[in-house]
Structure 1
Amino acid sequence: MIKKFVHIVFSNLKNAVGWKTNRKIIVFSVDDYGNVRLNSKEARKNMDEAGMEVFSRFDALDTLETKQDLEQLYEVLQSVKDKNGRHAVFTTFALPCNINFEKMESEDFQQFHFESLPETYFKLAIQQPEAYADAWQTWKIGIKKGLLKPQFHGREHINLNIFNQKLKVRDTQLLVALKNKSYTSISDEQYPTMSCFAALDFWDVKENENLKPILIDGLNRFEEVFGYKSNYFTPPVFSIHKSLFPTLKSNGVQFIDLGLSRSEHQGFGRYKKSINFTGKQTNNGLTIMVRNVVFEPTEDRGIDWVNFTMKQIETSFRWNKPAIISSHRVNFCGHIDPENREKGLSTLKKLLQEIIKKWPDVEFMSADELGALVQKNK
């Protein structure tokens, strides 16, 4: 009972401030697209046999989206239309680059190499044609139809500081993962301020100088891969230092996705707390956008995800706020376990049907479209 009360209070508090509108706007912000985490069922089996731990559902199920993943997602997104006749859309926060596993292996894993997302798909279409043949073309179809709107999520979903340190000492976990063309099930316990997957985490704040050219390169490669400049950025694991904001702004980013309550690392384990809201401006002119609804249908919390998410949307609309729904690709992955994809997509379909039924005047938008609306009417 207490837990439920706390959730209700928090749900209302997070919608009390920030940009408001009378329009009922739904945005799906979905992280991790384009990222190779787990290569295949065989790779997971090999890592299990090597004693590699499964720390989360991401380690167990999160794979680069297959042709089937995308096609079945498109069917669900097109199963509903809003008051303007528009289907639902996923803003896919995507990585334009991945580890070049083959090149690294050819050099006995001596140094980091990366490749573009189309190169990754080209290789996988040969190695695993049943899953990845024509998958990159399927991506392009989704973008053309307005079902997907990719935005920037970093160059790669890897903390290169940790990666290179582990590579140097020939870390067993890292090498086992790389030999299985994966980057998962790797411990970062010895790094108190960094995650293996948080590309912009650091120990000394001075390290951010080395991250600036990576961000710039990532944004340029995003444009090469997807055909347009990204103007919206979600940092991997929501972790970024404000010293990188000017680099984002000067390279075309207008909107940055940050948590409502944020602890920004100041270096050497010291943190500074801040509160964010949609429409808040940084000193550098970035518009902050805050997700206020959670939808993780394959995460086992013992809750009814449709009902749980509907209540969050209802609270958002009651406060005249757009519903910015946070989710992850892993919910819609079926390469390792088709039942995981079925569960995620069937729950998504039910959610979309309930949204249309309860709010016939709802409008589906991509995150950047909402951002432009916020900027125009602030």
Structure 2
Amino acid sequence: MVRKLLSAVFSNLKNCIGWKTKRKIVVFSVDDYGNVRLNSAQARKNMDAAGMKTYSRFDALDTLETTQDLQQLFEVLSSVKDKNGRPAVFTPFALPCNIDFEKMEAEYFREFQFETLPNTYKKLALQQPEAYTGTWNLWKEGIAKGFLKPQFHGREHLNLAVFNDKLKDRDTELLTALRNKSYTSISDDKYPTMSAFAALDFWDVKENEALEPILVEGLQLFEEVYGYKSTYFTPPVFNIHHSLFQTLKDNGIQFLDLALLRSEHQGRNVYKKSFNYIGKRTKEGLTIMVRNVVFEPTEDRGIDWVSHTMKQIERAFRWNKPAIISSHRVNFCGHIDPQNRKNGLEALRNLLDEIVARWPDVEFLSADELATYLKNK
């Protein structure tokens, strides 16, 4: 009972403050697209045999999106239309770069090397043609047809400080993952303030100075890869220090996706808490956006995800808020386990059907479209 009460209070807190609209707007903000985490089922078997742990469903199932992943996703998104005749749209918070595994191996894993996403797809189409033939062309088709509107999620989805430290120490689990063309099952127990996957985590606040050029280069490469400038940024694992806000602003970012209740690292394991809401402005002029709905249909929490998400959308609309739905690519990945993709897409189809049936005046927008509309009001 207490848990349900706290959940209800928190859900209302997400919606009671900030920008409001009478429009029934639904946005899908979906993290981690373009990122190579797990290469293949064989890679997972090899790492299992080497004793590497599976810490989460991401370690077990999260792969670079395949041709089938995108084809089946587009079928589901196009199965409904909003009041304007528009299909549902994903805003993939995406990476333009990945580890260049082949180059690193050729150089005996001495230093970090990266490549752009089209090059990653070109290699994978040769290595795993049944999964990756034509995938990058399908990506571009999805953007052109309005099913996908990617925005920036960092240059790559890893913490370089942790990566380089482990590389220097010839860390067995890192080298095992890299030899399997993967970056997963990486422990970060030695790093109290840094996740191995959070690109902008740090120990000392001065380290943020070295992160500035990585963000700048990442935004430039995002434009090169996806064909336009990103205006919206979700930090990997939601972590970023405010000293980087001006760099984002100076390089075209207008909108920043942050947690409702944010705990910002100030350096050396000291944290400062803050409260965010949709439409809040930073002193640099960035508009903060906050996700107020969660949809993680392949995460086993013992709940009916469609019903749970519908209740969150209903609560958002009751408060005259857009429904900004938070999700992750892993829910729709089938390269390791096709049943995982089937379950995730069936839940997505059911959710979309219920949305358009319940709210015939719904509008599907990309995250940047919503944010631009908010900013211009």
TM-score range, shorter chain: over 0.9
Q: Deviations over 1:4-55 (max 9, x none)?
A: 1211111111101010000000000000000000000000000000000000
Task: Report the Cα offset of residue 64 of structure 1.
Answer: 0.1
Give the partner amino acid of 1:337.
D
Structure-2 separation of matches of 1:113 and 1:107: 10
Q: Which residue does the alignment assign to 2:367?
A: 367
2:309 alignment partner in structure 1: 309
Identify unmatched segments of 5+ residues in structure 1: none
For 2:283, the equivalent position in structure 1 comes to 283
SS in 2 for 1:166: helix
Partner of 1:209: 209
Q: Which residue of 1 aligns with 2:29?
A: 29
Query: Is 2:195 the partner of 1:195?
Result: yes
Give the corresponding residue for 1:174.
174
Matched, 1:62 2:50: no
Classify the secondary structure of the residue corresponding to 1:184.
coil
Per-residue displacement from partner, 1:215-250 (whole Å, max 9, x unpaired)?
000000000001100000000000000000000000
User: Partners of 2:13 and 2:366 in 1: how far apart?
Assistant: 24
Deviation for aligned residue 1:108: 0.6
Query: Which SS does the other structure have where 2:15 is aligned?
Result: coil
The one-letter code matched in structure 2 to 1:12 is: N
**Residue of structure 2 equivalent to 1:107:** 107
Q: Where does 1:125-136 land on structure 2 (aligned, <5 Å)? A: 125-136=125-136
| Number of the residue aligned with 1:271 | 271
CA distance in 2, matches of 1:182, 1:133: 19
Letter in 2 for 1:300: D
What per-residue deviation string (whole Å, max 9, x for no partner) do you get for residues 93-123 of structure 1? 0000000000000011000000000000000
Secondary structure of the 1:83 match is coil
Matching of residues 8-87 of structure 1 within 5 Å:
8-87=8-87
> What is the distance in 2 between the residues matched to 1:104 and 1:216?
23
In 1, the alpha carbon distance for the partners of 2:278 and 2:242 equals 17
**CA displacement at 1:145 relative to structure 2:** 0.2
Aligned residues: 377
Q: Which amino acid aligns with 1:309?
A: T
- The code of the aligned residue for 1:374 comes to L
User: Take 1:298 and 1:347, find their aligned partners in 2: how far apart are those partners?
Assistant: 9
2:229 corresponds to which letter in structure 1? Answer: K
CA deviation string 1:323-351 (max 9, x = no partner): 00000000000000000000000000000
Separation of aligned partners in 1, 2:72 and 2:254: 32
TM-score by length of 1: 0.99
Could you tell me how far apart the structure 1 residues matched to 2:282 and 2:206 are?
21
Deviation (angstroms), 1:85 = 0.4
Q: Is residue 251 of structure 1 aligned with residue 218 of structure 2?
A: no
- Report the Cα distance in structure 1 between the residues aligned to 2:358 and 2:97, rounded to whole angstroms: 40
1:147 aligns with 2:147: yes
Which one-letter code corresponds to 1:207 in the other structure? E
Provide the rounded CA distance (Å) in 1 between the counterparts of 2:127 and 2:10. Answer: 47
For residues 65 and 59 of structure 1, the distance between their equivalents in structure 2, rounded to whole angstroms, comes to 15
Hey, what does 2:321 align to over in structure 1? 321
For 2:254 and 2:276, the matched residues in 1 are separated by: 16
Tell me how far apart the structure 2 counterparts of residues 164 and 12 of structure 1 sit (CA, whole Å): 42
Q: Specify the code of the residue in structure 2 equivalent to 1:120.
A: T
Instruction: Tell me the SS of whatever aligns to 2:296.
Output: coil
Q: Give SS of 1:15's match.
A: helix
Using the alignment, how far apart are the partners of 1:19 and 1:54 within structure 2?
40
Q: Counterpart of 1:243 in structure 2: which amino acid?
A: S
1:98 aligns with 2:98: yes
SS in 2 for 1:336: coil
| Secondary structure, counterpart of 2:30 in structure 1 | strand
Alignment of 1:328-367 (within 5 A): 328-367=328-367
Let me know the Cα RMSD of the aligned residues.
Answer: 0.4
One-letter code of the match for 1:251?
Answer: N
CA distance in 1, matches of 2:303, 2:264: 31
- Offset, 1:352: 0.2
The aligned counterpart of 1:227 is 227
Query: Partner amino acid for 1:178?
Result: L
| Counterpart amino acid of residue 287 in structure 2 | T
Three-state SS of the structure 2 residue aligned to 1:344 is helix
Q: Distance in 2 between matches of 1:140 and 1:31?
A: 18
- Aligned partner letter, 2:90: F
